[in-house]
Amino acid sequence: MQDRVATLQEAGDPNEALHAATAMIDKCQQMLGPDLDTIDAFATALELRTQILLKLGRNEESAEDAKQAIDQLDNRPDRLAQMGRLHAVLGAAYDAQARPDKATESWRKAVEYFEKHDPPLSLDVASMVNNLGFLAKANGDLDTAEDHFLKALEIMHANLGQKHEETAAVSNNLGAVYLAAGYLEQAREMHMMALETRRELFGESHPDTAQSHNNLALALLETGDRAWARRHFEKALASFESLGVAYADDLEAVASNYCDFLKAEGEENLSQVIAGRVRELLETN
């Protein structure tokens, strides 16, 4: 039954996967007893369903399944990885419900379980502290956000190296914190590192590379490198224009940033031309 759930998920059929997971839970619940094997089977079935419910946006139900599975496992030392995963999903469900305090609590618990595991599940820890960094930044706590992102970056460097998309993503996140905090040189360095990696991995015509061009341009504006910022705005805009309406929100944001820059440079006419070009592109697709 577990294999069927996985097959349905891989086939992109979450509703059928949900039915299969529910049938699995019902069967495991009927067989549930005091022995660890039946408890493990029930908790595993709940874990499968909580992930499916989360993907379907049924966040409250996902949280309930996660909490029930956590209760079943009862902090068992032989289930540290699973306890960590369940708290991670629970945090994601709370985050989707706009409950940052509960999400923070759950992700911190996930970190504890992943770190207690022998050996520590370092990449899972990095994923959780990266999430915690986002929550801290959204709450305006930039010092805490920096600490979380630095920890995530250290782990990514040690386990994946600099030339990895996950390392680049965390570098980008840290750059955003530094920019918000006014640490401009550090922000520029982080965004340059992210851009270099994304260029090497993905090429220019990729949304992550385009976003890094935009982010670096914003940092360069703050350090007074306006000519260099302009080049990166142009590259970001060209990439998102080539990607089309699938990235409409990103295209509009980059175009807005670039047009603001052009207006500040006294190039009002060019700003209007670009705004019109982007508007036409979005309206005709």
Per-residue pLDDT of 187-208, as tens digits, reads 999 999 999 999 999 999 999 9
pLDDT one-digit tens code per residue, 150-180: 999 999 999 999 999 999 999 999 999 999 9
pLDDT of amino acid 6: 74
Q: Could you give the percent of the chain with pLDDT greater than 70?
A: 98
What confidence tens digit (pLDDT) does each residue in 25-68 have? 999 999 999 999 999 999 999 999 999 999 999 999 999 999 99
262's CB contacts (< 8 A; 6+ apart) are 268, 270, 271, 274
Report if pTM > 0.75: yes
Confidence at residue 1, expressed as pLDDT on a 0 to 100 scale: 66
**CA 284, chain centre distance (Å):** 31
d(C-alpha 203, C-alpha 190), whole Å: 19
Residues in contact with 114: Cβ distance below 8 Å, sequence separation at least 6, in sequence order? 80, 81, 84, 120, 121, 122, 124, 125, 128
Going by the DSSP 8-state scheme, the letter that residue 183 receives in this structure is: -
Average pLDDT over the chain, rounded to whole? 95
Peptide bond preceding 14 in cis form (omega within 30 of 0)? no
Average pLDDT (57-86) is 97
What fold, for 203-285?
1.25.40
